[in-house]
Amino acid sequence: MIGKLSLAAVIARRYVRVRLDLRRYPLPELVSRYSHLPRGRNRHQVRTLRRGVDRLLKLPGRPLRCLPRALVLYSLVVEQNHNPRLVVGLPQAGDSNRAHAWVEIDGIDVGPSPGRDGHQPLAAYPLTFF
């Protein structure tokens, strides 16, 4: 239980930081800053982090935007000694222009939910264009 409460506190603090940082920095610079966070000791598996972000940052009746949630997960995964990419894309079907953000490790979608969800990647950070 202490582990879950501790992780919830970390996620909540990180969400506040992400919201503030999104106002201060352009996305490429923000991801670069988060890419250089101190590396941790692999205390949590990636799926545990994703589940924590999903559960804590999905408030009933008020869904949070995907970019802050993806940035929180991205920063947490970096601290766990992984090299993730923050991916931004548009729907494959082309019937909408609503962008979506998710995190990938070695090309595998790791969340936050709903993850890629049928979106075609346009850019990935650290900066890569498709």
The count of other CB atoms within 10 Å of the CB of residue 118 is 11
108 beta partners? 105
Count: domains in the chain: 1
- Return the percentage of the chain with pLDDT > 90, whole number: 68
pLDDT band at 103 (very low <50, low <70, confident <90, very high): very high
Q: Tell which phi-psi region holds residue 96, choosing left (phi > 0), alpha (psi between -120 and 50) or beta.
A: beta
- In tens, the pLDDT along 32-76 reads 999 999 988 768 899 999 999 999 998 776 667 899 999 999 999
pTM for this model (two decimals): 0.91
> Which domain range does residue 6 map to?
2-129
The radius of gyration of the chain's CA atoms, rounded to the nearest angstrom, is 14
Identify the pLDDT of residue 31: 96
